[in-house]
Amino acid sequence: MTAGVVFLDSSVLFNLLDVPGKSGDRQSVVAEFQRLTHSGSTFVFPITALITLWTLDTMLSSHA
């Protein structure tokens, strides 16, 4: 596969970061992420995915 642009949504971020209860596909997501990284792909994180991640972080840290 040639390098391209890959958009990552919040579910991919949850798996990459191994978020408890939200990373059920971690092994396959990490493997695909590594494959795309080695192919030279460019990753784009939509602002909505980053806001979702920030919101989850805020919720988790308030329960710690």
Task: Tell me the HSE value of 32 on the side-chain side, using a 13 A CA sphere.
Answer: 12
Q: 């792909």: which residue's tokens?
A: 41
Q: Contact at 8 Å (CB) between 2 and 42?
A: no
pLDDT along the chain (64 residues), means of 10: 83 88 94 95 87 75 69
Task: Give the pLDDT confidence score for residue 27 in this predicted structure.
Answer: 97
Helix, strand and coil percent figures for the chain, each rounded to 5: 55, 10, 35
The model carries a pTM of: 0.72
